[in-house]
Amino acid sequence: MAREVCRAAGVIGEPVGRQEVSRWETGKRTPREWLPFLAAALAVPAELLTAPIPAPEPPLPTLR
């Protein structure tokens, strides 16, 4: 993912590394300036990456 983000940004080399992507994934950091490039690498709108995560559906009751 780090390589694809750099490619989408048109950056030669890897100023974004695997550790930085891991920090984004775990919520330790936000990819602020990299967000548009992250969205491009994932082929999704940037708004999708900033939208709140919906609460999970409650489990269906089991029949006994």
| Nearest-angstrom CA–CA distance, 54 and 2 | 26
Tokens, residue 34: 């990299």
Query: What is this structure's pTM?
Result: 0.73
Q: Give the C-alpha distances (Å, rounded to integers) separating 56 from 47, 49, 53, 63.
A: 20, 17, 9, 21
Closest CA to 5 of 42, 37, 46: 37
| Nearest-angstrom CA–CA distance, 64 and 50 | 42
Kindly list the domain boundaries of the chain, sorted by start residue.
2-50
Q: What is the pLDDT of residues 3-49, one digit of tens each?
A: 899 989 998 877 888 999 999 989 899 888 999 999 999 999 999 98
Q: What is the pLDDT of residues 4-17, one digit of tens each?
A: 999 899 988 778 88
Tokens, residue 56: 């999970």
